[in-house]
Amino acid sequence: MRGADIIPSTCILPDQLLAKREKLKKVRHQLTADAITSILNGQVLEPESLTKPETIKHLAAFQPQHFEIHGMMHDQLVQYSKLMGFSTWRPSWMLKSKLKKHFQFLKEDDMLLKSEGLEGLSMEELQLACEDRGIVSVGLERANLADKLYKWIDLHTTPDPHIQPGLMMLYSTVNPHFDKTSSQLSANETQ
C-alpha cells in the first residue's frame, strides 16, 4: 500500500494517504459483500463463522490446500490483491509472488509486534499496520484499531495449525461486515 508501488511512502501527502485509504475502504466493503454472497451461495459455512478464530483454525488444519497462494486462480489473486491495496493488472505469477512476499513480511512483522506489543505504536503506525493487513483503518478509534490488529496478530502467529495467507485475507474480508464498530460506522456514513 505504498502509492501503488510507484511513489515512496515518504512522498505521499497526508490528504493523498487519507484519500487512498477511503478508496481502499470502499473496495474492501465491496469485497466483503461479494465474499459473503459467494459463501451464502455455496451454503457450506455461515459467513459469520469466518470471524471466529476457531473456524479459521479448523479450516487451516483440515483444508489448507484451498488457502495457499500457490494454488489460487487468477480471479482469487486479483481479489486478494485488491484487498491488500496492490495493483491488479499483473499476471498470476507476479500476483502470487507479490502476495507471498507480503505475507512473509507480515509474518515477521507480526512476530515482532507480538513480542514488543502495540502500545509503542503511534496512531499513524497503527493505521499503516492495519492497512498492510487489509484491515480498514479509516474513521476508527485507536482502541478499535489496536483490538483488530491484536486479533489478527494472535491468529496469524498461531503455531499450530499454520494459518494460510488465503484464510488470513478471508478473515480480513469478512470481519468488517459482522463487526459492530464497522457496521455502525458504515450506517452513520450513509445518513
| 8 Å CB contact between 152 and 134 | no
3-state secondary structure of 33: helix
Per-residue confidence (pLDDT) for residue 184, from 0 to 100: 44
Residue 25 has pLDDT above 80, yes or no: no
Give the separation between CA 85 and CA 100, rounded to whole angstroms.
14
Residue 186 has pLDDT above 60, yes or no: no
Q: How many domains does the structure of the chain reveal?
A: 1
Pick from 110, 77, 109, 71: nearest CA to 92:
77
Could you read off the pLDDT of 41-98 as tens digits, one per residue?
A: 655 567 677 788 888 888 888 888 888 999 888 988 998 998 898 999 999 999 999 9
Cα-only R_g, the chain: 16
Mean pLDDT of the chain: 82
**Which residue carries 484464510 as its cell?**
167
Per-residue confidence (pLDDT) for residue 42, from 0 to 100: 58
Per-residue confidence (pLDDT) for residue 182, from 0 to 100: 44
For 68, phi then psi, to 5°, come to -85, 140
Full domain range(s) for residue 96? 3-190
CB under 8 Å, gap of 24 or more: what pairs does 3-9 form? 4/86, 4/87, 5/86, 5/87
Per-residue confidence (pLDDT) for residue 98, from 0 to 100: 96
**Which residue carries 485507536 as its cell?**
142
**Which residue carries 459467513 as its cell?**
47
pTM of the model: 0.74
